[in-house]
Chains A and B, each alone.
Chain A
Amino acid sequence: MKRRFTLLFVLFAAVTTFAQQKKANLAELSLSAGDWFTVSASYTPIWGLGKSKKLKMGVGIRLNSSFGNNLLFETAPAKLTSGQTGPGVLFAENIKANIDTLRINSPQVNALNLYYTIEYAVSKKFDVGFNIDLLGFSFGGSKPATYLSNNVGTATTAKPTAFNLLLISDNDLGTLNSEIYGRYHLNKKIALKAGATFIFNEYKTTTKVQNVAGQTNDRFRNKALMAMVGISFKI
């Protein structure tokens, strides 16, 4: 845990240390559609690095609100999905026998996260960028759900997992959003962006419904890749 916080601290320190005079504050609104409909509102100070200031980085805050219909969530903990919790999770095959499903008819998850963004100015008018949520909190109502295992569905209830933390692959906790995008500047203040959103939304059942190989589980995750459009305002 100590190592993870050190990593986050170094990341933040890198951004602020490299901070040059050319700083901008960005307020953005993004809409993503696919398995979910997600609205994201964010604010981030962003700094241009180096002489050319083409490379830009920032750490900001983002509110994601996702709405879905009849969605399936799969067993989340890496120790069940991959049989391990280290960095090897990234390359490990999923253990299908350990993966069960939670079905929620009308999932709705809100997450307030600190996020990291990196961009490159391809030209004066056009940027490409990537951002990813680092840590934060989720909230949302309790929902009726059905836990599916071995051809049996059992009624239960579930709430969004409260704490969000970016780790590695299935080690991640909670609800985390990421975007890859291109941004076109209409003028000095306003820009449009478009790209893709990859979001993890996670629910926790009120009881540990899954029991596999002596381990119990109450966390279930939905991963969705969606199309995204947005608008940015330089403040």
Chain B
Amino acid sequence: MKKNILFILLAIAIASCSKKDSTPDTNLNQNIVGGTPIGTGSFTGTPGHTVSGSATWVTTNGETKLQLSNFSTSNGPDLRVYVSKDLNASSFISLGKLQSTSGNQVYTIPSGTDVKNFPYALIWCQQFSVLFGSALVK
């Protein structure tokens, strides 16, 4: 009996934890209207994580934005979108939490950032420092 109660409590704890930490899975349809694409690349996942879709730099109204198109990723805790100098995220800028695990999404690059110095778009689990997927944007 004790074992059963412990098991149930553990299951509830695990379920509530993953729900709280995981990324929403609503299929988004955000698109940049107009603008000039200055580079694009395709996402590939890392072992154990499936990531697909494309990443495109777009300049519009003096801002640079990152457009994720037909994007899809396996879910995980604390997923972020980084632009990075390498795949290890040794030098990067975080564009914020990944809004959804699927669909078209737009992220704004902080002003003054030279995106040529950050050629990789990363889907990064910040809590555990794990790379889910990347796209080399060129």
| CB of B49, distance to nearest CB on chain A (Å) | 15
Are B94 and A153 neighbours in the complex by a CB distance under 8 Å? yes
Interface residues on chain A, number (Cβ under 8 Å): 11
Are B90 and A155 neighbours in the complex by a CB distance under 8 Å? yes
Residues of A contacting B128 in the complex (Cβ-Cβ under 8 angstroms): 70
Are B94 and A151 neighbours in the complex by a CB distance under 8 Å? yes
Are A146 and B91 neighbours in the complex by a CB distance under 8 Å? yes
Are B90 and A152 neighbours in the complex by a CB distance under 8 Å? no
B93 within 8 A of A: yes
Query: In the complex, A154→B85 CA distance in Å?
Result: 10
Complex partner residue of A153 from B91, B96, B130, CB under 8 angstroms: B91
Query: In the complex, A154→B89 CA distance in Å?
Result: 9
Interface residues on chain B, number (Cβ under 8 Å): 15
| CB of B99, distance to nearest CB on chain A (Å) | 15
Are B90 and A70 neighbours in the complex by a CB distance under 8 Å? no
B129 within 8 A of A: yes
Name the residue of chain B whose CB is nearest to the CB of A144.
B90
Query: In the complex, A146→B95 CA distance in Å?
Result: 17
Are A155 and B91 neighbours in the complex by a CB distance under 8 Å? yes
Residues of B contacting A154 in the complex (Cβ-Cβ under 8 angstroms): 91
Are A105 and B88 neighbours in the complex by a CB distance under 8 Å? yes
Are A153 and B89 neighbours in the complex by a CB distance under 8 Å? yes
Query: In the complex, A72→B89 CA distance in Å?
Result: 14
| CB of A122, distance to nearest CB on chain B (Å) | 27
Chain A residues proximal to chain B, CB less than 8 Å: 70, 72, 103, 105, 144, 146, 151-155
Chain B residues proximal to chain A, CB less than 8 Å: 82, 84-85, 88-96, 128-130
17 pairs of residues in contact across A and B, judged by CB atoms under 8 Å: A70-B129, A72-B129, A105-B88, A146-B89, A146-B90, A146-B92, A151-B93, A151-B95, A152-B92, A152-B93, A153-B82, A153-B84, A153-B92, A153-B93, A154-B91, A155-B90, A155-B91
